[in-house]
């Protein structure tokens, strides 16, 4: 079976909500370069994030 949904929906790394169309921050994991998104709320609260790829945690 072929999955035609190539475009992944950006989700907040901390709370998991969909961040498409919001003022979410997106950056790359400093360790492995994995694309990470964080919603404005979690950014404001300075929630820690954990890279799903390498397990790197940061502010």
Minimum CB distance to Zn ion, residue 44 (Å) = 10
Q: How far is the CB of 2 from Zn ion (least distance, A)?
A: 28
Of 49, 46, 57, 44, the C-alpha closest to 12 is 49
| Interface ranges with Zn ion (CB under 5 A) | 12, 14-15, 29, 31-32, 34, 39, 42, 51, 53-54, 56
* CB contact at 8 A, 35 and 26: yes
Residue 4 or 44 having the CB closest to Zn ion: 44
Measured distance CA(32)–CA(7) in Å, rounded: 21
User: In whole angstroms, how close is the CB of 3 to Zn ion at the nearest point?
Assistant: 24
């Amino acid at each position: 079976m072929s999955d035609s949904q190539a475009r992944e929906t950006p989700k907040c790394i901390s709370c998991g909500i969909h961040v498409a169309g919001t003022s979410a921050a997106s950056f790359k994991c400093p360790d492995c370069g994995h694309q990470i998104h964080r919603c404005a709320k979690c950014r404001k609260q300075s929630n820690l994030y954990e890279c799903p790829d390498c397990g790197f945690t940061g502010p």
